[in-house]
A and B are shown apart, each in its own frame.
Chain A
């Protein structure tokens, strides 16, 4: 096994385990922390895939932004007591089956289809390339997303504001 492969399996296991903790943890804060580490694991996978920029963005945005946001939300909505409360609702079995079947199907699809080239194609420099694409081919989605973010911001502020009594 090459280094690459070893790293892959380690990072893969790491991400999967942490994802499981996210989904199954009793304590929600623990789940949030697990999420953070899961994001990091994925970032590692991105680097393995020569996607440095994305790795950076992942860490910055996901870990630095979203998870903080989640934590704040948890803090704002947490209830002090009730740690014996169940975590999963009553459709856990069925959803478990559904998830497993989906995994199987997707796995089947994945292993069946794609011809991996003998050699990895040459990939241009990440950041400049992404920047160029964003400004040229995908300029419209780029603008749209900015509007979306604006709208999201306004909406979030509005929704979360304190009610006037």
Chain B
């Protein structure tokens, strides 16, 4: 069955074709096509996953995509533990979200278009994780970027939505440049882009890779940093994270699928897949870890003060992605991927829960106009609670096991400052998640009257996926992750990273337990603070706290003015430069052209003058001369014959004289 892995991306592709070309016919039945495609794909993925667990694997080229001289890139699939885990997560979560969307997008006029794009996204993401070479992976990479744009700007008539889509695409593109440059360097060093060939060739190319390149960094460090730039863009890390909060303009299922569970994890996957290269570049790994930790902390601070429920969850996503990169950076690739998987489940659940709330309140997204929704939305609130606990990292839910592993690895690797950042982030994660939970589902009822009338739990088509995801959240963590670093999951995926030469940091059991306890205490502290401040809904403490640290509060509330900074530098300044250049062009070029025209007219005027005066004058003078001459000559005609006769005689005489003088007639 593993040879049939191509079915996994192709089935959604069929869905794209049907819904894309015949959308007007499928109409309200479009979801059937999409869900069927995704569901079948998930089923195949599950079968293949089971096969890989028992030892199957595949690395096959199906078709020669590019063959240009020495450069060749195939369409081929690589099925190993890493890619099969990713594949499973993508298809299962994707399937559940498709089911949910059938309910959420029910009244939307662009129904078939939505499912076409969703399926297209599935195709791209699956190609990305199943590719066996960098070029095909990049194809999927770009594809998910495209779908992100299409889906964020789904409600394109709304300007903020289309702007957000554009922003996402443009910022992603910056990252893509990095990936392209990395691919060029990889090909030049290894002569191939296929993963197996590249990684096998590391031994032989070591001398080349370790040679100093740009800025004194080794070549392999440069490659890895360029790859990481791409990951920064796709996975919304500092400094290219700015598109993710704006991406909340898209429909909530989109946020769930793309910006929580799958697309944003593509960066992490790429770094993990390129582990053999990263392991040769400790500087790059350090950069990855630092960026990850700082982003985790940074985003968590912003999430603490947001009032839009989706935005809170968005910043949470950015923060959790930071943890995943932190994990990669300290060598805990497997833990990072584990966190990726668990995060996919509970973050998707959080977003879908937000969607359920928004749907129930007829479009309201502001936390301050919610509250006391627990009774009316029982299933939503319960699953949301489980997801929040998971996100905060409470044992035995999913988030605990994976996040704890990462922080432990960080500590064990002697990156104490990074551990501190990560732990502080964890504190804030717990805080803001429960701030969100208490404000929305408990606290004071600030719901608007109109919305209150329509308040009802979501239909089963939406709640069932919530429950399924909730179940996964409860179970997946301890089922696959216990004991830490040695659970089922680790034994499955670890082999991939061992082959990559990942350095093992031995962690003693005592240390592990101590760190786990510390982490749990931190999380409980966060929850406790949130409970104290927000459970009842009329505690003035938060407001007073904000007042006391007003400067800090305003800064965080304005997201540290990063967006404004970017706009000022790139947009406004760029526009100024462009306008200046345009001014030069219009002035110089137009000036030159106009000047040339004016000059030509002036010259021609002078020339005309010359022609007029001189030439005409000449002609006129000649005429005058002739006239004068003829005026004089006409006087010869006297009319008297004897004058003519005289003239003739004189002429004859002259001729004769001359003749005789010349000696004629002798």
Contact = CB atoms under 8 A, between A and B. Distances in A.
Interface stretch (A42-50, A94-102, A122-130, A142-150): A94-102
A95 B656 contact: no
B657 to A, nearest CB: 7
A112 B646 CA distance: 27
B657 A95 contact: no
B643 interface: yes
Contact of B646 (A91, A101, A108, A113): A91
Nearest to B656: A105
Given A89-B642, A91-B642, A91-B643, A105 B660 contact: yes
A109 B653 CA distance: 13
A107 to B, nearest CB: 12
A105 B642 contact: no
B639 interface: no
Contacts of B640: 89
A106 B142 CA distance: 124
Given A105-B653, A105-B656, A98 B646 contact: yes
Decide if the interface of chain A is mainly helix, strand, loop or mixed: helix
A114 to B, nearest CB: 12
B650 A109 contact: no
A89 B641 CA distance: 12
A10 to B, nearest CB: 31
Interface in B637-666: 640, 642-643, 646, 649-650, 653, 656-657, 660, 665
A102 B653 contact: yes
Nearest to B645: A95
B646 A94 contact: yes
Contacts of A112: 665
Interface string A102-144: 1001001100110000000000000000000000000000000
Contacts of B653: 98, 101-102, 105
Given A98-B653, A102-B653, A109 B665 contact: yes
Interface string B449-491: 0000000000000000000000000000000000000000000
Contacts of B665: 109, 112-113
Contacts of B657: 101, 105
Interface in B304-326: none
Given A105-B656, A105-B660, A109-B665, A98 B650 contact: yes
B642 A102 contact: no
A91 B645 CA distance: 11
A11 B643 CA distance: 33
Contacts of A113: 665
Nearest to A94: B646
Contacts of A101: 653, 657
A108 B659 CA distance: 13
Contacts of B660: 105, 108-109
Contacts of A89: 640, 642
A102 B643 contact: no
B649 A98 contact: yes
B628 to A, nearest CB: 26
A108 B653 CA distance: 14
Contacts of B650: 94, 98
Contacts of A102: 649, 653
Contacts of B649: 95, 98, 102
A12 to B, nearest CB: 24
A112 B643 CA distance: 32
A112 B664 CA distance: 12
B393 to A, nearest CB: 145
Contacts of A109: 660, 665
Interface string A71-107: 0000000000000000001010011001001100100
Nearest to B640: A89
A106 to B, nearest CB: 9
Contacts of A91: 642-643, 646
A112 B666 CA distance: 8
Nearest to B665: A109
A109 B660 CA distance: 9
B274 to A, nearest CB: 127
A98 B653 CA distance: 8
B646 to A, nearest CB: 6
Nearest to A113: B665
Interface in B600-642: 640, 642
A112 B665 CA distance: 9
A101 B646 CA distance: 13
Nearest to B659: A105
Contacts of B642: 89, 91
B254 to A, nearest CB: 126
Nearest to B643: A91
A111 to B, nearest CB: 12
Nearest to A109: B665
A91 B642 CA distance: 9
Interface in B64-123: none
B666 to A, nearest CB: 8
Nearest to A105: B656
A112 B660 CA distance: 12
A115 to B, nearest CB: 14
Nearest to B666: A112
Contacts of A108: 660
B641 to A, nearest CB: 11
Contacts of A94: 646, 650
Given A98-B650, A109-B665, 15 more contacts: A89-B640, A89-B642, A91-B642, A91-B643, A91-B646, A94-B646, A94-B650, A95-B646, A95-B649, A98-B646, A101-B657, A102-B649, A102-B653, A105-B656, A113-B665
Interface of B: 640, 642-643, 646, 649-650, 653, 656-657, 660, 665
26 contacts: A89-B640, A89-B642, A91-B642, A91-B643, A91-B646, A94-B646, A94-B650, A95-B646, A95-B649, A98-B646, A98-B649, A98-B650, A98-B653, A101-B653, A101-B657, A102-B649, A102-B653, A105-B653, A105-B656, A105-B657, A105-B660, A108-B660, A109-B660, A109-B665, A112-B665, A113-B665
Interface of A: 89, 91, 94-95, 98, 101-102, 105, 108-109, 112-113
**Top-5 shortest CB links A-B:** A98-B649, A91-B646, A95-B646, A105-B656, A101-B653
